[in-house]
Amino acid sequence: MSNRRLVELFYDVVSPYSWLGFEVLCRYRSIWNVDIRLRPAFLGGIMSASGNSPPALVPKKAAYMVKDLERQAEFYQVPVRQPKDFFQVVIKKGSLSAMRFVTAVQMSHPEFLEQVSRELWLRIWSEDKDITEPDSLLEAARKAGMALDQVEKLLGMISSPEVKSKLRETTEEALEYGTFGMPTMVAHIDGKPQLYFGSDRIEVLAHQLGEKWLGPVPPQKSRL
């Protein structure tokens, strides 16, 4: 098809709302006339540089988020469940090592980027498992279909200057677009980048792309 539009998705696996946006865009990839470009970045860096604060650190937002994620999980049909020790898992441990690993996957084996990202989201936001330790990253990548020797090589790349630089560059690029959180989608429309923040803005994205919005879970037959 001609005139395909590019939509970039900046995400971090520590963000459950990024998971929702990720799954919806993946579902529409074969329906809309778009190319989806996955852009793993570091949410911690974006929050710091933009002067934003994690919702969980605002008591009323944190209380709302617990209920909201339950509703969102049902609506989007994504198995999001909040970790039992949210503060320890999300705030204290964070996702820097995980996003460096995802970046290494993107650099060396981009064909596994989507599934490795999904497996990490499943671990932290559905199974309440670690995403920071090497054994955990290895298990997620193996479930995504990667060979053991591939994963071991990637684990050795996490601390490399090349991987650190790539993650930093992607994060800075997201900031240059104007982001302040995740998920951030950047649609290139008529030669200009248009920024959309949040998994609940995909319907607006569809409208501006001139595409049909069929809900968060489009009918299977629509993908043919």
Domains in the chain, CATH or no CATH each: 5-223 (3.40.30.10)
What pLDDT, on the 0 to 100 scale, is given for residue 223? 45
For residue 183, cis peptide bond before it (omega within 30 degrees of 0): yes
pLDDT in tens, 119-163: 999 999 999 999 999 999 999 999 999 999 999 999 999 999 999
Mean pLDDT of 171-196: 97
What pLDDT, on the 0 to 100 scale, is given for residue 221? 57
> What whole-number distance in Å separates Cα of residue 104 and Cα of residue 98?
10
Confidence of residue 224 (pLDDT cuts 50, 70, 90): very low
